[in-house]
């Protein structure tokens, strides 16, 4: 079974702190994604990556950056956390052969609270 593992389920950080959210997938998938999920707003795409060292902005990239140094790992970075970044963050992956099936494999999420 495909497994997408997010390193932290719950984090509490202070305004201005640098935050790293890590995601690892074990199925050799080319595509990886970071979404945030908020009540009333649904899932919104922050950044995605089609290959190592490649990244593309999603719909809400402001305040975030990403890193993909290895195929299996995709990191989301909040350079200076703010309270409006309090949210559930979801990582997902898919393989090239799944490019048109819509099947994303999600991790269990990282709930970030910024105080």
Partner 1 sequence: EDQVTQSPEALRLQEGESSSLNCSYTVSGLRGLFWYRQDPGKGPEFLFTLYSAGEEKEKERLKATLTKKESFLHITAPKPEDSATYLCAVQAAETSGSRLTFGEGTQLTVNP
**Local structure of 71: helix, strand or coil:** coil
Nearest to partner 1 of 74, 109 (CB atom): 109
> Which of 22, 77, 25, 68 has the alpha carbon at shortest distance from 48?
68
Residues forming contacts to partner 1 in the complex (CB under 8 A) are 4, 31, 33, 35, 40-45, 48, 50, 58, 90, 92, 94, 98-109
Specify the residue, 11 or 17, whose C-beta has the smaller distance to partner 1: 11
| Other Cβ atoms within 10 Å of 34 Cβ, number | 25
Cβ at position 79, least distance to partner 1 in Å: 24
Measured from the CB atom, is 66 or 90 closer to partner 1? 90
- Count Cβ atoms within 10 A of the Cβ of residue 2 and give its class: 0-12 exposed, 13-18 middle, 19 or more buried: middle
C-alpha–C-alpha distance, residues 51 and 41, integer Å? 28
Q: Supply the minimum distance, in Å, between the C-beta of residue 15 and partner 1.
A: 26
What span, in angstroms and rounded, lies between the C-alpha atoms of 61 and 27? 26
CB of 54 to partner 1, least distance (A): 11
Residue with Cβ nearer partner 1 (46 or 114): 46
């Amino acid at each position: 079974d495909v497994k997408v593992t997010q390193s932290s389920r719950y984090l509490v950080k202070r305004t201005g702190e640098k935050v790293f959210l890590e995601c690892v997938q074990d199925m050799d998938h080319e595509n990886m994604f970071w979404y945030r999920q908020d009540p009333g707003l649904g899932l919104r795409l922050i950044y995605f990556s089609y290959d190592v060292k490649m990244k593309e902005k999603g719909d809400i990239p402001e305040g975030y950056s990403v890193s993909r140094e290895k195929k299996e790992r995709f990191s989301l970075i909040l350079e200076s956390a703010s309270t409006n970044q309090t949210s559930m963050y979801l990582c997902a992956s898919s393989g090239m052969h799944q490019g048109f099936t819509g099947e994303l494999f999600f991790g269990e999420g990282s709930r970030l609270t910024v105080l």
